[in-house]
A and B are shown apart, each in its own frame.
Chain A
Amino acid sequence: MSWDQVSDVIAAVCFVAAAFFAAVAAIGVIRFPDLLTRMHAATKPQTVGLLFALVGLGLRLGEPSAIGILVLVGLFQCATAPIASHMMSRAAFRAGQVRQDLLVADELSPVMDREEPRGAP
Chain B
Amino acid sequence: MSPEMRVGRDGRLRPRRKGAVQPLAIAWMALVWCLFWRDFSVANALSGAVLGIGVQLAFPLPPLRMDGRLRIIGLLRLVWMFLSQMLVASVEVSTHVLRREHPKPAVVEVDLTSESDFVMTLVSLITTLIPGSVVVEARRSTHTLFIHVLDVGDDRGVEEFRQRTLGVEQYVLGIMTQPPKPEEVVR
**Chain B binds chain A:** yes
Q: Which residues in A have some Cβ–Cβ distance to B below 8 Å? A: 20-21, 24, 27-28, 31-33, 36-37, 39-41, 43-45, 47-48, 65-66, 68-69, 71-72, 78-79, 81-82, 85-86, 89-90, 93, 102-109, 111, 116-117, 119-121
Between A and B, 5 residue pairs with Cβ closer than 8 Å are A45-B93, A65-B35, A69-B35, A85-B134, A119-B13
Interface: B94 (CB within 8 A):
yes
Query: Could you give, for residues 126-167 of chain B, a 1 whenever the CB lies within 8 Å of some chain A CB and a 0 otherwise?
Result: 001111111111111110001010101111011000000000
Interface: B22 (CB within 8 A):
no
Complex contacts, A81 vs chain B, CB 8 Å: 128-129
Contact B38 A69 (CB under 8 A): yes
Q: Which of B39, B97, B117, B141 is within 8 Å of A41, CB to CB?
A: B97
Complex contacts, B133 vs chain A, CB 8 Å: 40
Q: Which of B13, B109, B124, B140 is within 8 Å of A82, CB to CB?
A: B124
Main secondary structure of the interface of B (DSSP, over half): mixed
How many A-B Cβ pairs are below 8 Å?
147
Q: A45-B93, A86-B128 are in contact. Are A107 and B103 (CB under 8 A)?
A: no
Known: A90-B136, A121-B63. 12 other contacts (CB 8 A): A27-B98, A31-B100, A37-B103, A45-B131, A48-B86, A66-B38, A68-B38, A85-B128, A89-B136, A93-B107, A103-B105, A109-B107
Q: Which residues in B have some Cβ–Cβ distance to A below 8 Å? A: 5, 12-15, 32, 35-36, 38-39, 62-63, 86-87, 89-90, 93-94, 96-98, 100, 102-109, 117, 124-125, 128-142, 146, 148, 150, 152-155, 157-158
Complex contacts, A89 vs chain B, CB 8 Å: 134-136, 148
* Smallest CB gap from B38: residue in A: A65
* Smallest CB gap from B128: residue in A: A82
Contact A108 B12 (CB under 8 A): no
Q: A85-B134, A105-B107 are in contact. Are A37 and B35 (CB under 8 A)?
A: no
Question: Taking the nearest CB of chain A, how far is it from the CB of B64, in angstroms?
Answer: 10
CA–CA, A28 and B129, complex, Å: 17
7 nearest A-B residue pairs (beta carbon): A44-B131, A82-B128, A107-B109, A28-B97, A65-B38, A68-B35, A105-B106
Contact B90 A48 (CB under 8 A): yes
